[in-house]
Amino acid sequence: AKASGSMQEPGVTASLWEWSWPSIASECPRLGAIGYDGVQVAPPQDSVKRTSTGNGSDAYLHPWWEVYQVVDYGLTSRMGDEQQFRDMVADCRKAGVKVYVDAVINHTTGQGNVSYGGKTFTPYTYPDAGYVPDDFHYTVGACPSADGGIADFNNKTQVWNCNLVGLEDLRTETPKVQARLAAYLNKLLRYGVSGFRVDAGKHMAPADLDAIYDRLDRTKDGKRPYWALEVGPGSPGVLSPEAYTEHGDVLGLDGVKQIYGAFTSYSDHQGDISGLATFGSGSGLTRSSRTMSFITNHDTNHDQANALTYKEGPQYLLATEWLLADGYGSPQVFSSFTFGADTNQGPPSDDQGLIDRASCADGRWTCDHAKTGVVGMVKFHQYVGKAAKKHVYADQQNVLAFSRGTKGWAGFNNGTSAKTITVKTGLKKGTYCDAVTGGKVKGACAGTTVTVSGSGRATVELPARAAVAFTKQTRL
């Protein structure tokens, strides 16, 4: 078991996915001021740079997914160069924000022959990473499928040893590959990184993951690095997310679907969020202390079918606010670029595929992490801490409300019209400012005001597809 008491806890993070390093460096002071504990960044290692488009729907020269095809472990990437990465980590740490890296360690590439760093490669041979054909499962005959791909997601040998969507699968069981990968991750730790989202975690045997983790140094803060494994649902036994919780935290991908279902209901797109009164281990998910939770990530964002995304507008924000209030897992807020109907579309880039500076002003980047309601709920989340959920109110018609002990109260309305509810809040008599509409600023409410009576009850109007929340901290 890898996750232990001394492992870095991520708290609340923002995933500024495919933001350039200089953009993240300048955003970190704001992240720190809002109350984010950390930022997760896209894969920083050198990756394939396409020189021609694919066929049919694969018509973007530089789709977002280039960064998931590893060529070497120098940090020249679409997001910036190695010095810019180091400066970004230093700036974020100065702002009190820890940096978590999306670590692509299961595979190399599946196409192309040149990288952003100008390195060349051929199939199964990567001179700059030091890989030769013997370092891959397929080449040594260790993948049992007919075409070298994963045909059966219930077969652990295929899932661990075959090429995921054609990506050349590393022999992560060998000391040579483990040492190479650990050297990469240890370099990042030396630069001040606090841990990793392990890409394609399900596609590595737990023993390999443990062996790599055992080779890692401590963070600059003296902790064991955070280690969150990407383990998609839907396979049996040792391939299940639950099984992988013995080897690190896991990403809450089953939770993403449950949240989507509750908010949008497949039949009428109205859904009922009252059901989210039961969420977490009570609804069959991996336990809170072992889970990184979120509403969407870069994959579900592009897949569109099983997750709320920025395209759902108010419902996406409402769900994000709810997750921060609920307290399940270590919540992560996803914030990236907008895109059209073609889900391969990459981030705003110049014609070299290098990513532009992110701006919250021009509509190309969503900046959901800095929207007023999300900011208010990050503060709410940090303030209520681990206080138990109490006074749960669920009308089975798209409204859910609860307190977090005696520290805060939050109500959510996923319906298309406003609703007024009268509830017990768990809080003392007083006048409170709603955190979602801006909280308390210089002794006054920026937005909505809520009055709690002597009996701890309040009558609250919940606007359509919106939340109202307050804490002792937002009391006038």
Q: Which residues are known catalytic residues?
A: 199, 230
By a kind-dependent CB cut-off of 5 to 8 A, residue 456 interacts, out of Ca ion, ligand LM2, none, with none
Q: Does 29 sit near ligand LM2 (CB under 6 A)?
A: no
By a kind-dependent CB cut-off of 5 to 8 A, residue 68 interacts, out of Ca ion, ligand LM2, none, with ligand LM2
Q: Does 18 sit near ligand LM2 (CB under 6 A)?
A: no
For ligand LM2, the closer of residues 93 and 298 by Cβ is 298
Q: Does 165 sit near ligand LM2 (CB under 6 A)?
A: yes
| Among 104-112, 178-186, 321-329, 415-423, the segment contacting ligand LM2 (CB under 6 A) | 104-112
Min separation Cβ 438 and ligand LM2, Å: 35
Residue from 2, 50, 78, 203 that binds Ca ion (CB under 5 A)?
Answer: 203
Q: Which residues between 293 and 332 bind ligand LM2 (CB under 6 A)?
A: 298-299
Min separation Cβ 205 and Ca ion, Å: 8
Q: Does 202 sit near Ca ion (CB under 5 A)?
A: no
Q: Does 130 sit near ligand LM2 (CB under 6 A)?
A: no
Q: Does 111 sit near ligand LM2 (CB under 6 A)?
A: yes
Q: Does 169 sit near Ca ion (CB under 5 A)?
A: yes
By a kind-dependent CB cut-off of 5 to 8 A, residue 230 interacts, out of Ca ion, ligand LM2, none, with ligand LM2
By a kind-dependent CB cut-off of 5 to 8 A, residue 108 interacts, out of ligand LM2, Ca ion, none, with none
By a kind-dependent CB cut-off of 5 to 8 A, residue 169 interacts, out of ligand LM2, Ca ion, none, with Ca ion
For ligand LM2, the closer of residues 68 and 138 by Cβ is 68
Residue listed under structure tokens 């809450």: 252
Q: How far apart are CA 164 and CA 212, in angstroms?
A: 20
For ligand LM2, the closer of residues 62 and 93 by Cβ is 62
Total of chain residues touching ligand LM2, rule CB under 6 A: 15
Q: Which residues between 228 and 247 bind ligand LM2 (CB under 6 A)?
A: 230
By a kind-dependent CB cut-off of 5 to 8 A, residue 199 interacts, out of ligand LM2, Ca ion, none, with ligand LM2
Min separation Cβ 203 and ligand LM2, Å: 7
| Among 7-15, 62-70, 403-411, 421-429, the segment contacting ligand LM2 (CB under 6 A) | 62-70
| Among 4-12, 162-170, 334-342, 438-446, the segment contacting Ca ion (CB under 5 A) | 162-170
Min separation Cβ 1 and Ca ion, Å: 21
Q: Does 339 sit near ligand LM2 (CB under 6 A)?
A: no
The amino acid at 111: Q
Q: How far apart are CA 227 and CA 311, in angstroms?
A: 30
Q: Does 110 sit near ligand LM2 (CB under 6 A)?
A: yes
Q: Is the dihedral of CA 298, 304, 306, 309 positive or negative?
A: positive
The closest of 108, 125, 39 to 73, measured between CA atoms, is: 108
Q: How far apart are CA 367 and CA 360, in angstroms?
A: 6
Q: Which residues between 78 and 117 bind Ca ion (CB under 5 A)?
A: 106
Q: Does 11 sit near ligand LM2 (CB under 6 A)?
A: no
For ligand LM2, the closer of residues 65 and 409 by Cβ is 65
Give residues with Cβ within 8 angstroms of 419, minimum separation 6. Answer: 395, 399, 413, 461, 462
Q: How far apart are CA 292 and CA 286, in angstroms?
A: 10
For ligand LM2, the closer of residues 69 and 332 by Cβ is 69
Provide the binding-site residues for ligand LM2, judged by CB under 6 A. 65, 68-69, 104, 110-111, 164-167, 199-200, 230, 298-299
